Amino acid sequence: MRDLPEIFIRLKALIASYSPPLNSRQDSEQAFDLWSDKDLVIEGRKRKEVFFASAIIQKNYVGFYFMPIYVEKEITEVFKPELLRLKKGLSCFHIKDLTPELEEQITEALRVGFELYEQRGWV
């Protein structure tokens, strides 16, 4: 599937499956995100929230932003090459074509990331 609005809808549904307990701050036809709203101390700094994931329609791709990969770089070990090839920067993936295999890999990444947040007490 190469239709960006359709890719966005599919990614949004995958991410939204974690709401609740995570909460959305931005929910539009172009962008969707989820956050954990909880008083936390991360690396000695007090926080009231932590970002989890989002999907944003960009000009030529849908950006899938996935904070657990930034928090724990070793999480990439569970990703398959098809998903890793789309990684641009620390926590962003450029999705231009969403195959069933890639959708399955993103579903697994979200599951592993959510479990990491649970283990750290961030959810």
Model confidence pLDDT, tens digit, residues 64-78: 998 888 777 777 777
Q: How far apart are CA 74 and CA 83, in angstroms?
A: 15
Q: Where are the domains of the chain?
A: 4-114
Contacts with 95 (C-beta within 8 Å, 6 or more apart), sequence order: 7, 11, 61, 62, 63, 64, 86, 102
Q: What's the CATH class of domain 4-114?
A: alpha beta
| pLDDT for 103 beyond 80 | yes
> Which pLDDT value is given to residue 48?
79
Residue 105, CA distances (Å) to 39, 57, 95 in order: 31, 20, 12
> pTM for the whole thing?
0.86
